[in-house]
């Protein structure tokens, strides 16, 4: 092992830095490179709703690997990688071409190319195993993660390709962003849309071909999608999503690879499961967007509405568990007395609620006629805060004018009923 580490530059430095055996360090370095690259490039695919292009390209590398082996006659990594990349590129361009022909939708185009190429690969594979060439054994394992057999040279090739991909994205990020979000506009301002799209497809193919070595073909799909899905829950601006996706990809790759080496498990599945857990956590917990977060906000809003309804009509007959719970909550806060009437504090709160409602009614009725510095939409729960005291004074003025003219109670009556869903 010493003899091998002497040849190493980056990975052996890495292995001493993080205190791992040489093979494990190579695997972790590979996962790191893969995570960053697929995170950044996956963003372009996922936001275009082409997440599964990665799947098709990964399957399409099989015939490429077989042909490269047929031509070269040996299992050397750069040659096989080249074959895989060429086949993947052809497949990706065919997909875009079939889509562009008009009738076939993206998902069917991806499916047709995937099955066609994979069937071709399976046929080639049987021919290779019939040809009694002993060296062909294990060629199909190219499809599944063989990270433990990863060599330092593989990582070097991967790092070089990754660097090129990141450099291209860095230099062309404005043009790429424009093409991604608005191809028609990009074409109108003279950007070479087709060239850029082909370039992005090529970069994606690079990422997939890199990943096929580390996590395997089927599992590569997750590495393209997980970072972007996670990053998208945490950020709204594309540059932030891009950077975050790279970071999430790196973190997932390294965490998964380390867990796998510790637990003596295959690298690919562990990396993918780590990524899946991260993505699901982001979907559930992301601030402001996550499923649980939204559920909590919705529950809080429902509670407020029910309490407001009780405050508005404390003597209404008690109906149902939720009404009971709302009343219990008000009692805990000292707004409702034990006999169901409002306490002094409760009366203040009820007056505030009624005032808020009256103000909202006034806004609905007179909103268009008052003068505002800008065209913002108010928050129904906090009109004063969102519109400012100036506008509120104008609204009050408008309502007072209407009282004089004599039909003030109309709107108030309509809107002072408890809102829908407050029962």
Partner 1 sequence: MSDGLLIVVIAGLVATACGLLGPFLVLRRMALLSDAVSHAVLPGIVAVWLVAQTRAPLPVIIGAAAFAVLCVLGIDALRATGLVASDAAIALVFPALFSLGVLGVTRYAAGIHLDLDSTIYGEIAFVPFDTVWLGGYEVARSGLVLGGVVLLNLVLVGLLWKELKATTFDPQFGATVRLHPRLLSRLLLVASAVTAVAAFDAVGAILVVTLLIVPAATAYLLTDRLVVMVALAIGIGWLGAAAGYAVALPMDSSIAGAMGLVCTACFVLALLLSPRHGLLTRRWRRLRVHPAP
Residues of this chain that interact with partner 1 (CB under 8 A) are 46, 49-52, 54-55, 98, 101-105, 107-108, 110-112, 114-116, 118-123, 125-127, 130, 144, 218-219, 221-222, 224-226, 228-229, 232-233, 265-266, 268-270, 272-273, 276, 279-280, 283, 289, 291
How far is 126 from 112, CA to CA, in rounded Å?
A: 21
Nearest CB to partner 1, comparing residues 32 and 114: 114
Nearest CB to partner 1, comparing residues 232 and 307: 232
Nearest CB to partner 1, comparing residues 59 and 366: 59
3-state SS assignment for residue 83: helix
3-state SS assignment for residue 108: helix
Q: List, in sequence order, every beta strand (DSSP E) within 181-309.
A: none
How far is 100 from 106, CA to CA, in rounded Å?
A: 9
Nearest CB to partner 1, comparing residues 127 and 301: 127
How far is 409 from 412, CA to CA, in rounded Å?
A: 5
Nearest CB to partner 1, comparing residues 160 and 291: 291
CB 349 within 8 A of CB 311: yes
CB of 241 to partner 1, least distance (A): 13
Residue that the structure tokens 């913002």 belong to: 376
Nearest CB to partner 1, comparing residues 106 and 411: 106
Q: Which of 240, 265, 267, 241 is nearest to 256 (CA)?
A: 267
CB of 64 to partner 1, least distance (A): 15
Backbone angle region of 216, left / alpha / beta, with phi > 0 → left and psi within -120 to 50 → alpha: left
CB of 146 to partner 1, least distance (A): 12
CB of 145 to partner 1, least distance (A): 9
CB of 38 to partner 1, least distance (A): 12
CB of 49 to partner 1, least distance (A): 5
Buried b / exposed e along 115-139 (16+ C-beta atoms within 10 A): ebbbebbeebbeebeeeeeeebeeb
Nearest CB to partner 1, comparing residues 12 and 61: 61
Nearest CB to partner 1, comparing residues 224 and 359: 224
CB 122 within 8 A of CB 60: no
Nearest CB to partner 1, comparing residues 64 and 121: 121
CB of 205 to partner 1, least distance (A): 17
3-state SS assignment for residue 167: helix
Nearest CB to partner 1, comparing residues 62 and 165: 62
CB of 122 to partner 1, least distance (A): 4
CB of 119 to partner 1, least distance (A): 3
Q: How far is CA 274 from CA 148, 227, 244, 335, 416, in A?
A: 18, 11, 17, 49, 52
CB of 151 to partner 1, least distance (A): 22
Nearest CB to partner 1, comparing residues 62 and 309: 62
Beta bridge partners of 216: 144
On the 0-12 / 13-18 / 19+ scale of CB atoms within 10 A, 32 is buried
Q: Which two tokens stand for residue 375?
A: 């065209």
Phi, psi of 216 (to 5 degrees): 90, 165
End-to-end CA distance of the chain: 74
CB of 175 to partner 1, least distance (A): 24
Sign of CA dihedral 155, 260, 208, 33: negative
Residues in the chain: 423
């Amino acid at each position: 092992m010493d003899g091998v580490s002497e040849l190493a530059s980056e990975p052996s430095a890495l292995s001493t830095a993080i205190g791992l055996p040489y093979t494990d360090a190579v695997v972790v370095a590979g996962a790191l490179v893969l995570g960053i690259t697929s995170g950044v490039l996956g963003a372009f695919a996922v936001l275009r709703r082409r997440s599964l292009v990665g799947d098709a390209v990964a399957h399409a590398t099989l015939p490429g690997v077989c042909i490269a082996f047929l031509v070269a006659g040996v299992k050397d990594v750069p040659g096989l990688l080249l074959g895989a990349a060429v086949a993947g590129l052809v497949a990706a361009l065919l997909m875009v071409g079939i889509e562009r022909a008009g009738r076939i939708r993206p998902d069917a185009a991806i499916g047709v190319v995937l099955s066609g190429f994979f069937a071709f690969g399976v046929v080639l594979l049987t021919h290779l195993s019939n040809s009694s060439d002993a060296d062909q054994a294990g060629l199909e394992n190219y499809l599944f993660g063989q990270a433990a057999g990863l060599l330092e040279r593989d990582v070097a090739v991967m790092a070089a390709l990754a660097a090129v991909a990141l450099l291209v994205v860095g230099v062309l990020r404005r043009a790429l962003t424009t093409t991604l979000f608005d191809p028609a506009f990009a074409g109108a301002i003279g950007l070479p849309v087709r060239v850029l799209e082909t370039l992005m497809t090529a970069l994606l193919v690079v990422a997939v071909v890199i990943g096929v070595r580390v996590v395997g073909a089927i599992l590569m799909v997750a590495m393209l999608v997980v970072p972007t899905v996670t990053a998208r829950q945490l950020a709204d601006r594309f540059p932030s999503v891009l950077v975050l996706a790279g970071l999430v990809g790196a973190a997932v790759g390294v965490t998964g690879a380390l867990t796998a080496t510790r637990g003596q498990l295959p690298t690919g599945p562990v990396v993918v499961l780590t990524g899946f857990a991260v993505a699901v956590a982001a979907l559930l917990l992301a601030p402001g967007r996550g499923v649980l977060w939204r559920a909590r906000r919705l529950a809080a809003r429902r509670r407020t509405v029910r309490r407001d309804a009780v405050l508005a009509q404390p003597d209404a007959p008690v109906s149902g568990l939720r009404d009971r719970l709302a009343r219990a909550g008000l009692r805990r806060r000292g707004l409702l007395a034990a006999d169901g009437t409002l306490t002094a504090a409760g009366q203040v709160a009820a007056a505030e609620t009624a005032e808020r409602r009256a103000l909202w009614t006034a806004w609905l009725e007179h909103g268009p006629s008052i003068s505002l510095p800008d065209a913002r939409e108010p928050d129904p729960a906090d009109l004063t805060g969102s519109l400012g005291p100036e506008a509120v004074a104008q609204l009050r003025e408008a309502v007072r004018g209407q009282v004089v003219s004599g039909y003030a109670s109309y709107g108030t009556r309509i809107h002072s009923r408890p809102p829908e869903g407050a029962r």
